[in-house]
Structure 1
Amino acid sequence: MKKLILTGILLMFMVYGKAQSYMGFLTDNYSGVHGVISNPANIVDSRFKTDINLVGVSAFAGNDYYGVSFSDIFDDDYEFEDDAKRFPEDKNNLIGNVDVLGPAFMFNINEKNSIAVYTRARAFYNVNGVNGETLESLIDDLDDDISFNINQGDLYASANAWAEVGVSYARVLMNKEEHFLKGGITLKYLQGLGTAYARGTGLGVAFDADITTGNGSVTTLGEAAYGYSENLEEDLEDVEIVNGSSGVGVDLGFVYEWRRDYKEYTSTDSKGKAFTPKDINKYKLKFGLSLTDLGSISYDDGTEERYNFNNTLTQNDFEDIDIDELERFYGTPILVEAEKAVLPTALHANVDWNINHKFYLNFNTDFSLTSKEKTNRSRIANVVSLTPRFESKWFSFYSPLSLVQHSGFQWGAGLRAGPLYVGSGSILSLLVSDQSKAADVYVGLKVPVYQSRPKDKDGDGVLDKVDECPEKAGPEENFGCPWPDTDGDTVLDKDDKCPEEAGEVDNNGCPWPDTDGDSLLDKDDNCPDVAGPVENQGCPWPDRDSDGVLDKDDNCPDVAGTVANNGCPEVTEEVQKTLNEYAKTILFDSGKSSIKAESDQVLKDIISILNEYPTAKFTVEGHTDSAGSAKLNQRLSDARANAVKNYLIENGIDQFRLSAIGYGEDRPIATNKTRAGRAQNRRVEINLVKQ
């Protein structure tokens, strides 16, 4: 009996495993068709043109009751029941799976659509609610034939195997600069290969040993049900696939990428169509969310047997119980239709950080959505993992660090080298820990066909996909074509405002015009819209005073004059007469050259007239009568002429326009014999100097 119980315990707890498959490998952007396992959206915008899986196997084993040292189990003297560490709880749980991915392929229909088809065989087994604390006491007491009690309580166990054929479709839902979203769905046809399950309520065993006779009694308690598919009813060696054992399953998933640096790898052709290389990862952060294994398998001819275990047996009878002879001790079971096998439905969340083009850090969590306290439910263990990885087209290496429900911390490693992928989510923790509770491994072969590197034949940095001149280098802004110079004036058409007419570099490729037709180009013409002589920088000569004499020839450009007088006003005889009439009225003190005050107005009138002829020169002449000596008269006439001249200069008349001379009594204009005549001879005249 001791051997039977220990063997059962060992088998139960060593099949515990993380139900996740291919730990670490699925975080790789080069996992290809494997991407549909965790999220069907992964296959679109893939780094593969197509990816063909030949075969891949992933298996997991472990438990939350026994912890072992991986290196010790190979020692010849290792005794499992004595050397393994035990971790009993009131509810120990175990889960296990084997995942075989058979022939499978994915390919991109176009930039926005991808499909995958795969074949897969899977097996799950779960035992939940084993009372490890009671089990612990049982193991310690088995060496002594003494009484013991097992108070198991409720217990659920199931084993399911099936094959599936899946068809996945994924599509890009949004591609808008920094934001990229894709979604996918997988529809699966499920072929059941067999199911077996058991559940118990209030289970217990009480062993009352009889040391004297060696034949104690065993009291069993509780109710239980055992269900199985038709093909498991007889000997397992004769298991066959039965009709009516099928179902459907669905996976759904979405992936969002934050493409911070989208401008660095986005090219646009002349029609405005954007292009991004297919062979590189474009995201800085990627977020994935998926729901997998929605569905179940029905076994039409499956049977469930229900027993009431409330009975007392002898020790010998209890040890002789066979699973096929339960009715011998507990009566005829109640037979009902077997429960359908529910798939291990799970929610997966994933965040991937692109540290640079080769190194990544992935955070992933897998959360079971199936209850471990319901009948015939396959389930995964909840897992949180952090996986750093190095990733390139032909080689990747990753090392997941995980916290696994019931099994604690696991540390693994894996690699992908071209067609080969191999790894384990627990290999490193197995090597360093003396109480490992889980182990897993996977290996497989595939035929990857990678997206090719976009070509750039002319090496101008513009990919041929958007290069309108792929054989000739040109700038990106001209879509890979060299800028033309249609008119051959060395100014490229992009900068040439007259691309079809040769011109000057300084005039943006246009010839300099001569708008006014005066033979002087506008660039040198100060008056480009009005014809003018070259010597005046293309401007017409002005005539500011409008006297018909151009300013360049006008000695008085601001005062109207006559052509004959070079543009200056002419002093007419009438003006000359007026001047002298004014001048003759200038009064001096008797016998002196000082001008009397009452002559100021006359002098101002003279100044006003002189200002009207700014270029005319005048002589101020002084005259006397014949009274007195001729010498004195001469001196007096000089003094009086200069006195008038000085007065005029002091009041604004240019000194270079005036001269003064005294004639004394030499030029009388009347007789000196009369007082009236002498008065006329005492005078000052202002006469024009003829040029």
Structure 2
Amino acid sequence: MKKITLYVLLLVGSFYVEAQSYIGFLTDNYSGVNSVISNPANIVDSRFKLDINLAGASVFAGNDYYGVNVMDALKDDYDFDLDATKSPSNDNNIGLNSDVMGPSFMFNLSKKSSIAVFTRARSFVGINEINGNTIDAIDDDETDDFVVNEGDFTMFGQAWAEVGLAYARVFMNNEQHFLKGGFSLKYLQGIGSGYVYGKNVTINYDADGTDLGGGETTGSINSTGELTYGRFDNFDGDDYDYELPDATGFGVDLGFVYEWRPNHADYTKTNTKGDAYTLKHKSKYKLKLGLSITDLGSINYKNGVEDVYDITNSGVNEDNFDDADDIEDFLSTFYTLTESNSSYKTKLPTALHFNADWSFSGKFYLNLNTDFALTKKGEIGTSRISNIVSLTPRFESRWLGFYVPLSVVENIGFQAGAGLRMGPLYVGSGSVLSVLTSDNTKGADVYAGLKIPVYQGKPRDKDKDGVIDKLDACPKEAGPLENNGCPWGDKDDDAILDNVDECPEQAGPEENNGCPWGDKDEDSVLDNVDECPEVAGAEENNGCPWPDTDKDGVLDKDDQCIDVVGTVANNGCPEVVPEPVVPEPVVTKEVQKTLNNYAKTILFNSGKSSIKAESNEVLTEIVKILQEYPNSKFSIEGHTDSAGSDTLNQRLSDSRANAVKKFLIDNGVDQFRLTSKGFGESLPIANNATSSGRAQNRRVEINLVK
């Protein structure tokens, strides 16, 4: 059969198309300009100053009909039809996708905006909604006859190149909360496309159904249904010389990224001036959420052809098909053209992407990514991705990244892969682990590429003082953060550094924190020695004003009586008023006589010095008389009669004189005014021969001491 289009579509029918590209790699914060594919917002606040992609290619293929053990399939004796696992259904799908990213670059316009320019060449080929039983019928080795009851199906393939310009900007950077967004505008150049859309199609092929005569037969084809056949120019002709078709269009990608940064302060450096610098070489989030829509757009094939045929006919034989110049010749000759259009549009594989990235530490992450097709399956002229959910643990650092994507893909099922990034090289597969371990592999992908990354550098600190050069006022001299990285100086040369000098521009002693001693009260006594620095005072009083304790108008320094109110004339003491002179009372003879008369009546216990109680009244009277003469001194003299020995009488007279003296002292007479002495029997005043005379001699006398 000369029909090139049919051959091509059937040849690639062993694969099922998936639009996902670079699985695993695009979750990496170091994927750089490549990340614009999934979300254009990724390019701003990235880990790159500049990132240049030289070349990269991703191919993703699969199907939901054949499942193989890849390791067995590599053996020479492997029979694809016999050894592969088949899963026929009424809706089998086959196809292929490739994504080549050409020279592309991204760079920062400012702290809050970035731009990227990228080139890509992409292709989609797919056959959707094929009845798997049809494939079995055609592949039946027991008979050449087959019946196809296909119903509705689509066969579509397109390839295009795109040049894109992406712009992204930071919208919010509010401590813990960070939001950025971006968009890509893409100019699209169609490279080629073709499609066949069948509606209610049935085909009955009988290998010997047409008799050619002479014993020869050929196959007969009986068919019903409607067939829409679209292609650009006349590319399916045998003599077609390829030229780039007149097919252009535009595409748009939109995306937003939110980051939760609970430890935002750890990534911001500030100086005392309030200048701040956010570390650009580190990812700052604990959780990152991304949402984007990609591939909004279409390509208009202006010189395209779209014909609709009613293929209901039972008079067609195989020779008619083989002899046709091309499929258009065959269809127009044997079937009825019901509609024809001179151009058509092909739609891009529009998709919605959601991404959540959790940071366990600065280098270990867990990523959840979902891709959902927004185009309808089986729609004419439309490419479509298959829905996919991926969970990707990864390790990433500046020069090395490793990731293991675990995915569930629509129609294919679970896949496990691995990827590696080492500096400028990235290589990986979203399915390599599944391919190597599964007996029923239905899909596979692989990608590789080379780039020139120029990473955001760690902030420099030339003088190693802990203050980065961006915020260091003296980047070549070590100094503390409090002084913006500069060493503390001594402007006033007082040997006290400015950081502790409270008067850095005036020399002063250390004990006054570098400030010169002042004189607040202007009394010429410096505050360091002024005991009253707020109040003017005299130098002789240590800078304090002289007090006037008694408030008499005479300062304490001149006041000879500081606690008593006095007069200025008397040096602060009160004026002395002389008291009237009272003449000293004189002890007369009468007083002396009265004292002795009283004394003679003092009675003692016989032979003792103890005074009898009845003499207390007389003694009290004596006390009163003595107190009337406070400055006079008296002698108390004791006498005895002659009875007894002289020694005894002497001792007894002393004792009795002392007894009287003690009484007088105990009752208020000053002891220094009194003396006492005993004379024994030596000074009688009467005759000791008579009892009355002896009674008179036993006496006490109180005499004035002159």
Structure 1 and Structure 2 fold alike (TM over 0.5)? yes
**Judging changes above 3 Å, is the alpha-carbon distance between structure 1 residues 137 and 9 closer, same or farther for their aligned structure 2 residues?**
farther
**Is 1:72 aligned to 2:72, yes or no?**
yes
What is the CA–CA distance in structure 2 between the aligned matches of 1:153 and 1:312, rounded to whole Å? 18
Could you tell me which residue of structure 1 aligns to residue 172 of structure 2? 174
Shift of 1:369: 1.1
What is the CA–CA distance in structure 2 between the aligned matches of 1:263 and 1:231, rounded to whole Å? 64
Could you tell me which residue of structure 2 aligns to residue 596 of structure 1? none
What is the CA–CA distance in structure 2 between the aligned matches of 1:641 and 1:414, rounded to whole Å? 130
The two structures, once aligned, show a CA RMSD in angstroms of 3.8
Matches within 5 A, 1:600-615: none
Could you tell me which residue of structure 1 aligns to residue 238 of structure 2? 235
**Judging changes above 3 Å, is the alpha-carbon distance between structure 1 residues 304 and 524 closer, same or farther for their aligned structure 2 residues?**
same
Deviations 1:370-406 (A, max 9, x none): 1113211011111111222222222211111111111
Could you tell me which residue of structure 2 aligns to residue 287 of structure 1? 289
Shift of 1:71: 0.5
What is the CA–CA distance in structure 2 between the aligned matches of 1:14 and 1:147, rounded to whole Å? 22
What is the CA–CA distance in structure 2 between the aligned matches of 1:264 and 1:236, rounded to whole Å? 68
- Contact (CA 8 Å) 1:638, 1:660: kept in 2 or not? no
Shift of 1:224: 1.9
TM-score after normalising by structure 2: 0.76
**Judging changes above 3 Å, is the alpha-carbon distance between structure 1 residues 188 and 146 closer, same or farther for their aligned structure 2 residues?**
closer
SS in 2 for 1:36: helix
Task: List runs of 5+ in structure 2 lacking aligned partners.
Answer: 212-216, 597-621, 632-668, 675-706
What is the CA–CA distance in structure 1 between the aligned matches of 2:529 and 2:331, rounded to whole Å? 119
Shift of 1:413: 0.9
**Judging changes above 3 Å, is the alpha-carbon distance between structure 1 residues 622 and 338 closer, same or farther for their aligned structure 2 residues?**
farther
Could you tell me which residue of structure 1 aligns to residue 472 of structure 2? 467
Letter in 2 for 1:638: L
**Is 1:221 aligned to 2:221, yes or no?**
no
Deviations 1:150-203 (A, max 9, x none): 443221221001111222222333334333333222222211111111212222
What is the CA–CA distance in structure 1 between the aligned matches of 2:236 and 2:473, rounded to whole Å? 71
**Judging changes above 3 Å, is the alpha-carbon distance between structure 1 residues 387 and 564 closer, same or farther for their aligned structure 2 residues?**
same
Matches within 5 A, 1:332-411: 332=337, 334-411=339-416
Shift of 1:345: 1.0
Could you tell me which residue of structure 1 aligns to residue 608 of structure 2? none
SS in 1 for 2:282: coil
Could you tell me which residue of structure 1 aligns to residue 641 of structure 2? none
SS in 2 for 1:232: coil
Letter in 2 for 1:431: L
- Contact (CA 8 Å) 1:231, 1:241: kept in 2 or not? no
Shift of 1:423: 0.8
Shift of 1:51: 2.1
Could you tell me which residue of structure 1 aligns to residue 268 of structure 2? 266
Deviations 1:1-33 (A, max 9, x none): 9xxxx9999845532132111111112222222
**Judging changes above 3 Å, is the alpha-carbon distance between structure 1 residues 561 and 405 closer, same or farther for their aligned structure 2 residues?**
same
Could you tell me which residue of structure 2 aligns to residue 200 of structure 1? 198
- Contact (CA 8 Å) 1:177, 1:262: kept in 2 or not? yes
Deviations 1:63-99 (A, max 9, x none): 1121111111012221111211122333223343111
Shift of 1:543: 2.5
**Is 1:138 aligned to 2:142, yes or no?**
no
What is the CA–CA distance in structure 2 between the aligned matches of 1:65 and 1:409, rounded to whole Å? 15
Letter in 1 for 2:627: A
What is the CA–CA distance in structure 1 between the aligned matches of 2:296 and 2:337, rounded to whole Å? 36
Letter in 1 for 2:379: K
**Judging changes above 3 Å, is the alpha-carbon distance between structure 1 residues 297 and 316 closer, same or farther for their aligned structure 2 residues?**
closer
Structure 1 window deviating more from structure 2 (400-409 vs 246-255): it is 246-255
Shift of 1:221: 3.2
What is the CA–CA distance in structure 1 between the aligned matches of 2:630 and 2:532, rounded to whole Å? 50
- Contact (CA 8 Å) 2:12, 2:96: kept in 1 or not? no
Deviations 1:545-592 (A, max 9, x none): 23455557867544323578775545513x547xx7xxx9xxxxxxxx
What is the CA–CA distance in structure 1 between the aligned matches of 2:519 and 2:340, rounded to whole Å? 112
**Judging changes above 3 Å, is the alpha-carbon distance between structure 1 residues 548 and 14 closer, same or farther for their aligned structure 2 residues?**
same
Shift of 1:210: 9.5
Letter in 2 for 1:347: L
What is the CA–CA distance in structure 2 between the aligned matches of 1:57 and 1:494, rounded to whole Å? 61
What is the CA–CA distance in structure 2 between the aligned matches of 1:570 and 1:281, rounded to whole Å? 94
Deviations 1:311-343 (A, max 9, x none): 446886799697452344434464223431101
**Judging changes above 3 Å, is the alpha-carbon distance between structure 1 residues 469 and 373 closer, same or farther for their aligned structure 2 residues?**
same
Letter in 1 for 2:303: D
**Judging changes above 3 Å, is the alpha-carbon distance between structure 1 residues 321 and 280 closer, same or farther for their aligned structure 2 residues?**
farther
Letter in 2 for 1:386: L
Structure 1 window deviating more from structure 2 (273-282 vs 440-449): it is 273-282
Deviations 1:463-494 (A, max 9, x none): 21221111111122322112222223344334
Shift of 1:659: 8.9
**Judging changes above 3 Å, is the alpha-carbon distance between structure 1 residues 210 and 461 closer, same or farther for their aligned structure 2 residues?**
same
Shift of 1:267: 3.1
Could you tell me which residue of structure 1 aligns to residue 41 of structure 2? 41
Could you tell me which residue of structure 1 aligns to residue 255 of structure 2? 253
Deviations 1:230-250 (A, max 9, x none): 1523138733212x2111112
Matches within 5 A, 1:627-666: 627-629=590-592, 632=595, 636-640=624-628
**Judging changes above 3 Å, is the alpha-carbon distance between structure 1 residues 117 and 206 closer, same or farther for their aligned structure 2 residues?**
same
Structure 1 window deviating more from structure 2 (58-67 vs 98-107): it is 98-107
Matches within 5 A, 1:120-135: 120-132=120-132, 134-135=133-134
**Judging changes above 3 Å, is the alpha-carbon distance between structure 1 residues 9 and 233 closer, same or farther for their aligned structure 2 residues?**
closer
- Contact (CA 8 Å) 1:95, 1:379: kept in 2 or not? no
Could you tell me which residue of structure 1 aligns to residue 602 of structure 2? none
What is the CA–CA distance in structure 2 between the aligned matches of 1:206 and 1:374, rounded to whole Å? 26
- Contact (CA 8 Å) 1:154, 1:201: kept in 2 or not? yes
Structure 1 window deviating more from structure 2 (464-473 vs 281-290): it is 281-290
SS in 2 for 1:81: helix
Matches within 5 A, 1:323-338: 323-324=327-328, 325-332=330-337, 334-338=339-343
- Contact (CA 8 Å) 2:138, 2:146: kept in 1 or not? no
Task: List runs of 5+ in structure 1 lacking aligned partners.
Answer: 585-620, 644-657, 664-691
Could you tell me which residue of structure 2 aligns to residue 435 of structure 1? 440
**Judging changes above 3 Å, is the alpha-carbon distance between structure 1 residues 491 and 283 closer, same or farther for their aligned structure 2 residues?**
farther
What is the CA–CA distance in structure 1 between the aligned matches of 2:194 and 2:7, rounded to whole Å? 20
Structure 1 window deviating more from structure 2 (89-98 vs 299-308): it is 89-98
- Contact (CA 8 Å) 1:26, 1:35: kept in 2 or not? yes
Deviations 1:517-538 (A, max 9, x none): 6665535544223345678654
